[in-house]
Structure 1
Amino acid sequence: MAAPSSTLVFKVHRREPELVRPAKPTPYEVKLLSDIDDQQGLRFHIPVVQFYKHAPSIRGKDDPVAVIRRALSETLVPYYPFAGRLREGPNRKLMVECTAEGVLFVEADADVRLTEFGDQLQPPFACMKELLFDVPGSNAVLHSPLLLIQVTRLKCGSFIFALRLSHCMSDAPGLVQFMSAIGEIARGSHAPSIPPVWERYFLSTRSPPRVTHTHREYGQQATIDENNTLTTMPHNFDSMAQISFFFGCSQLSALRRHAPPHLRQSYSRFEILASCLWKCRTVSLRPDPKETMRMICLVSMRGKFSDPPLPIGYYGNTFAFAVAEAPAGELCRNPLGYALDLVRKAKGEVTEEYMKSVADLMALTGRPDFLKTRWTYLVSDVTRAGFETVDFGWGSPVYGGPAEPDVGPVPGLANFCIPCKNKEGEDGIVLAISLPTQAMERFVKELESMLKSPPNETKTFTHVMSAL
């Protein structure tokens, strides 16, 4: 068996980072982000990684670095805001100055073969520092490149495409739209099949702004001090451990059996997983039974707007943070159906009017962060974003998606549901849970108990543990 990526050691030779600019002149202008884009909770960079096999029958002796660099430059012509820089105006309003300065690009070679990364490619990838070089000074929100891309050739002819995006610019489907455009041009197209649409005013504050919903996702903990700086309560966890869990058909079926019989097939995979993880996490943390536990689900509204409809090709952020709340004691004591009902109800509250209310709240309250307390847990589903379909000319990736299973800068607060295959080739979902070490032991025990359904049939799951 090949060594897993968590223990793989290899050398990478990188050329000096360069700025790839649009292939043709582009407009100089200042473009406002939406009031969904520029909230505090999205002001960070998010990494993605794609692993591609050597395919000589498809591309012959083509160099993936040269192909992708050229395609990137041409794609930045219609997507020219990505070549600009973020600025901040009054009331912390973010905007893109379209300067055509370009995106950071790193060319690299590694003395390792794709097979040495193991037969089960899934995050966390301990080697990400080698595959996505953190160019000094490049990870600020303001005045920094909005994209950092590294293409690494491997000894076997395979390659790895890694990217870091300023989350204020796009959500996962918006990023996949951009990456797919690079892929189309790399494969010979003269323009993207879906023209990009900026029009961020679709999700900007109304005049006058009016908050029409209760937004528990932002709570009361966010304040703006006299220096116009956002402050929030600390997450406040001690030493952490991380385990990656793979949920295939058998594991999801076992969890689904804990739902009310007449509703079992009506719940989505995401609702089943989010509710299960919320319950198991609460049991593992042992909070006061009266403590309010919060589950935040990212709900995308892409394709669901009607007044007016969001244009095809829009690549900004289009999701809201839906919140389910419950006393810890009730969440632990009740069957899974209790959490499922709360999660489904919270998701159902996110409507077109809800999104407009969020945009107005951002403008009125200084763009607060979503709740970050030790009793808050967030799950983002990227199983349908399309990372696994991005093709630069060498076919689909053997793994494509988030490079880190945790969302944002705080370990343990949030997770991605990531589409993945296990070592047997079975399709499923992988999540990497981060918890204090002792709580992790209780979490595994609780999850194993839920997976033992029916009683005489144990449903095991794949997990890999690593220290944070």
Structure 2
Amino acid sequence: MEVKLKSSLMIKPAETTWKGCLSLSEWDQIGFINHIPTTYFYRLSPTTPFDDSMSNTLKESLSRALVPFYPLAGRLRRIDGGRLVLDCNAIGVQFIEAESKTKLEEFGDFYSSSSEILGQLSPSVDYTSPIDEQPLFLVKLTRFSCGSISLGTTISHVIVDGLSASHFITEWARLARGEPLLKMPFLDRKALRAGDPPSRLSTPHLDRSDFHHPPLLIGHSCSVDERKKKCSGALLKLSQEHVAKLKIMANEGRNMNSKPYTRYEILAGFIWRCACKARKLEDEQPTTLGICADSRKRMRTMLPAEYFGNASFIVTATSNAGELLSKPLGFAVSKVREAIGKVTEEYVWSAIDYLKSQSDLTKFQDFNGLWSCKGPYFGNPNVVVMSWMTLPVYGLDFGWGKEIYMDPGTHEHFDGESSILSNPDGDGSLLVKMDLHVEHMESFKEHFYNDIR
């Protein structure tokens, strides 16, 4: 598929916004220091194809959305110790327009579309450029010959987590439809003590294993070789029947005084086991599962749901491959619950204090780069499982109807990364986006379906 670039411009806030340097929280500055892509596909009638007025509506509404969400129009800047601050300078976000002679029907059911094709419809970030030149939000609007379009977006994970990203894009769509904002963003990052020194108050003992680098393959001293291997991605569907069977498998032998395991706990443990099998890890091989925990509802003084920043972070569960695979699924799932259960308000403040006391945050930052061993690596023999199940990622209507398909970045592949999504069909099934080294993907698919009994 050929995609021809037509134009590229910066969209600035429609009104004057606050300018200055904004401190970022510790959660903003660790973990994945990259952008998170999604692409939406819209089918328009040949008699009323997408036209310039619709494009102008997108740009104008985006400009207005950047007034309350003005941090996205700024740029990151590095300071000492690998730390980052946000320069709110209103430089703007990048809006790219392209066209293709392809027709929407040629994508088929989308699930089988090649990642290379889907990747052409998503805006790319030049990570070789200085970080203070990289836009924090990029849009790529591609018009197809049939009159339909795709709208690819990518947003900086330093500035937002999944819930905040969904909040912004949803409000942008409301403005494009001619409706007022529904929920203003909560921009005060002091809620997570951004820019404050470490607390002088004593904090409970912190399990620092969550901040240790995940284990390497036995016999390896660095992750560079694993990072360089070619990866592939798959979007796998679990029917409602599959999910029900996994629930039974996971809860066998569970202490009946405890709550049944959640879908996320079950799927995360199951994916972890399948990855270990596909990689044929040695029994004594340590392996870590990265688990996404949201602190918004785990604080006694809850963060507002509209908190605009990273309130989610990674906690870890660790085992040996042999123990993980020789025991029932419930063992892996119990490890997931144990890791999530330690995230209390005391844990959050203790973890923030620990990170504030570090002279250099670089060792906690993952740029998904191929050139460095500095940051944490959740590829082989590890995995990280994100949950998109409760994110409002479907039904994005900019005024010409809801999307017919949302692609959760299946063109970007980083070994061991996985996301769980609900199926937009609403039939109780789930979708699992999985990235693995090419050599392990087919085996993973076999275990993913054949191990459900």
Interval of TM-score (by shorter of Structure 1 and Structure 2): 0.7 to 0.9
Seen in structure 2, the aligned counterparts of structure 1 residues 319 and 114 have a Cα distance that, compared at 3 Å, is same
- Given the alignment, which residue of 269, 291, 294 partners 1:300? 294
How far has the Cα of 1:405 moved from its partner?
7.0
Q: Could you tell me the percent identity over the aligned residues?
A: 26
Contact 2:73 2:136 in 1 (8 A): yes
Seen in structure 2, the aligned counterparts of structure 1 residues 325 and 403 have a Cα distance that, compared at 3 Å, is same
Whole-Å separation in 2 of the counterparts to 1:421 and 1:121: 13
Contact 1:19 1:103 in 2 (8 A): yes
How far has the Cα of 1:214 moved from its partner?
1.0
Which residue in 1 is equivalent to 2:330?
Answer: 337
SS of the residue corresponding to residue 399 of structure 2 reads: coil
Contact 1:383 1:419 in 2 (8 A): yes
Whole-Å separation in 2 of the counterparts to 1:392 and 1:275: 37
Seen in structure 2, the aligned counterparts of structure 1 residues 440 and 117 have a Cα distance that, compared at 3 Å, is closer
Seen in structure 2, the aligned counterparts of structure 1 residues 60 and 449 have a Cα distance that, compared at 3 Å, is closer
Q: How does 1:143-222 map to 2 (within 5 A)?
A: 143-189=133-179, 191-204=180-193, 206-208=198-200, 212-219=205-212
TM-score (norm 1): 0.82
Whole-Å separation in 1 of the counterparts to 2:225 and 2:128: 26
How far has the Cα of 1:136 moved from its partner?
5.2
Which residue in 1 is equivalent to 2:218?
Answer: none
SS of the residue corresponding to residue 208 of structure 2 reads: coil
Corresponding letter in the other structure for 2:284: K
Per-residue CA deviation, residues 112-169 of structure 1 (Å, 9 max, x unaligned), is 2222211244786322342124365786533321111111222333221111111100
How far has the Cα of 1:187 moved from its partner?
0.9
Whole-Å separation in 2 of the counterparts to 1:199 and 1:235: 41
Whole-Å separation in 2 of the counterparts to 1:93 and 1:123: 39
SS of the residue corresponding to residue 131 of structure 1 reads: coil
Greater Cα shift, 146-155 or 393-402:
393-402
Whole-Å separation in 1 of the counterparts to 2:222 and 2:306: 35
Contact 1:86 1:96 in 2 (8 A): yes
Corresponding letter in the other structure for 2:95: F
Q: How does 1:448-467 map to 2 (within 5 A)?
A: 448-451=449-452, 453=453
Whole-Å separation in 1 of the counterparts to 2:79 and 2:112: 40
Whole-Å separation in 1 of the counterparts to 2:319 and 2:269: 12
Which residue in 2 is equivalent to 1:412?
Answer: 415
Contact 2:417 2:436 in 1 (8 A): no
How far has the Cα of 1:445 moved from its partner?
3.6
Whole-Å separation in 2 of the counterparts to 1:325 and 1:186: 46
How far has the Cα of 1:342 moved from its partner?
0.9
Contact 2:49 2:147 in 1 (8 A): no
Q: How many residues align?
A: 427
Whole-Å separation in 1 of the counterparts to 2:4 and 2:438: 36
Which residue in 2 is equivalent to 1:463?
Answer: none
How far has the Cα of 1:74 moved from its partner?
0.8
Whole-Å separation in 2 of the counterparts to 1:300 and 1:340: 18
SS of the residue corresponding to residue 433 of structure 1 reads: strand
Whole-Å separation in 2 of the counterparts to 1:60 and 1:433: 33
Per-residue CA deviation, residues 28-51 of structure 1 (Å, 9 max, x unaligned), is 211111111011x23112211111
How far has the Cα of 1:427 moved from its partner?
5.5
Whole-Å separation in 1 of the counterparts to 2:428 and 2:439: 31
Contact 2:74 2:90 in 1 (8 A): yes
Q: Does 1:249 align with 2:240?
A: yes
TM-score (norm 2): 0.85
Corresponding letter in the other structure for 1:291: Q
Structure 1 unmatched runs, 5+: 1-8, 223-230, 454-468
Corresponding letter in the other structure for 1:267: Y
Which residue in 2 is equivalent to 1:358?
Answer: 351
Whole-Å separation in 2 of the counterparts to 1:411 and 1:378: 10
Corresponding letter in the other structure for 1:350: V
Whole-Å separation in 2 of the counterparts to 1:75 and 1:352: 32
Structure 2 unmatched runs, 5+: 216-220, 366-374
- Given the alignment, which residue of 96, 101, 105 partners 1:111? 101
SS of the residue corresponding to residue 380 of structure 1 reads: strand
